[in-house]
Amino acid sequence: MSDDVPPEPPKAPAPPQDGDVPAERMDLPKWNRARVKRAQPAADDAPDGFQQGVRAAGRTAVRRGPLVFAGVAAIAGIIGGTIWWTRHKAEATAASTRLLAQSAAWRARGIVEDVDAIMKERKRPPPLPIARDEAELDANVDAAIAALMAGDDSSAQHLGLLVRAAESFERSDFAAAQASYDEFLTKVGDGHLLAFIAREGIALAREGQGDLEGALAELDKLMGAEGDFYRDQALWQRARLLEQLGRNDEALALYHQYATEYPLDKASMAKAAVRERLGELDPQAVPPEPGLGGPGGLGGLGGLGGR
């Protein structure tokens, strides 16, 4: 006999005892790999983050679509309204400007002519406004100003007040002129670029009505400080009114002040008028005209016949 001992048969696993936790059963190897692959989730079935984001955005857009459309419509309405209002204002301004230009043209350049004879052979309007007589000329000015005042452009209407005041002056209606100038200053104030015209106009209107003291008071508002705009004209007008009141010493002092601030050998608004008045009141204070005296002038040569 051989000494070889036969192998022992495998022992059966011991039955589980109370309190033991059964171990997980291990999967047996599968030889069919296709079945294993089919058991795994396919790549096409996996969730795609980009696609999910697009779908979510689409759903959000569908929900918010009416709100977005309403917002776009509101913005479009605002833009359209703004464009319309701007265009409307521009058209109104253009119409008012035309009326202002017409009234100013009739006031400043209108002339009386034989309209029928002039227009008989003309196909275009004449270069200057023409009327058959003064009454028709005045009526045309009044009609243009009335149409301007009936418009919507306040800026043009303010300037129209100055035209109306000038027309009243032309007719020697000083009270009406003063009223128009007062209305202009009430609406625009003394800070307006053309306020000096109205202020001087009020002074001249008061002078026309015989109120010289009131005219002086208005000119005081134009005096300002040395170097201010229109001060030279205010000095001249005030000195002129003082002469009318017989206060010649005060007038002469203002003429001298004018010559000091605005030398008479240089250009200024009232230079010619001041030279003339000083020539009568104080000839020694009037310097020779440039080019007419002194070295290099005709006076320095002894005149045309001097040697």
Q: What's the pLDDT tens digit per position in 191-223?
A: 999 999 999 999 999 999 999 999 999 999 999
pLDDT at 306: 41
Q: Does a structural domain hold residue 11? A: no
Q: What is the mean pLDDT of residues 121-128?
A: 80
Interacting residues of 54 by C-beta distance below 8 A, sequence separation 6+? none
Same domain? For 139 and 156 the reply is: yes
Is the pTM of the predicted complex or chain greater than 0.85? Answer: no
> Percentage of the chain with pLDDT > 70?
63
pLDDT at 212: 95
51 has pLDDT over 90: no
Same domain? For 162 and 202 the reply is: no
pLDDT at 24: 58
Q: Does a structural domain hold residue 40? A: no
pLDDT band at 114 (very low <50, low <70, confident <90, very high): confident
pLDDT band at 302 (very low <50, low <70, confident <90, very high): very low
For residues 262 and 128, give the distance between their C-alpha atoms in angstroms, rounded to a whole number. 38
pLDDT at 84: 45
Which of 182, 200, 218 is at the close of a domain? 218
Q: Does a structural domain hold residue 236? A: yes
Same domain? For 161 and 106 the reply is: yes
Written as one string, the DSSP assignment of 59-100 is HHHHHHHHHHHHHHHHHHHHHHHHHHHHHHHHHHHHHHHHHH
Q: Closest Cα to residue 204, out of 219, 189, 194, 183? A: 219
Q: What is the mean pLDDT of residues 227-254?
A: 94
Q: Closest Cα to residue 265, out of 233, 292, 287, 283? A: 287
Q: Does a structural domain hold residue 20? A: no
307 has pLDDT over 50: no
Q: What is the mean pLDDT of residues 150-159?
A: 80
* Positive/negative CA dihedral, 268, 270, 276, 281: negative
Same domain? For 150 and 195 the reply is: no
Same domain? For 206 and 163 the reply is: no
304 has pLDDT over 80: no
Same domain? For 236 and 261 the reply is: yes
Same domain? For 95 and 166 the reply is: yes
pLDDT at 106: 73
Mean pLDDT score of the chain: 76
Same domain? For 103 and 166 the reply is: yes
Q: Does a structural domain hold residue 54? A: no
Same domain? For 206 and 250 the reply is: no
Same domain? For 137 and 95 the reply is: yes
pLDDT at 142: 85
Q: Which domain holds residue 256?
A: 224-289
User: What DSSP element (H or E) covers 239?
Assistant: helix 231-244
Lowest pLDDT segment from 91-105, 126-140, 208-222, 276-290: 91-105
Q: Does a structural domain hold residue 18? A: no
Both structure tokens of 150: 């009936």
Same domain? For 212 and 228 the reply is: no
Structural domains counted in the chain? 3
- DSSP helix/strand/coil, 112: strand
Q: Does a structural domain hold residue 75? A: no
46 has pLDDT over 60: no
Q: Does a structural domain hold residue 107? A: yes
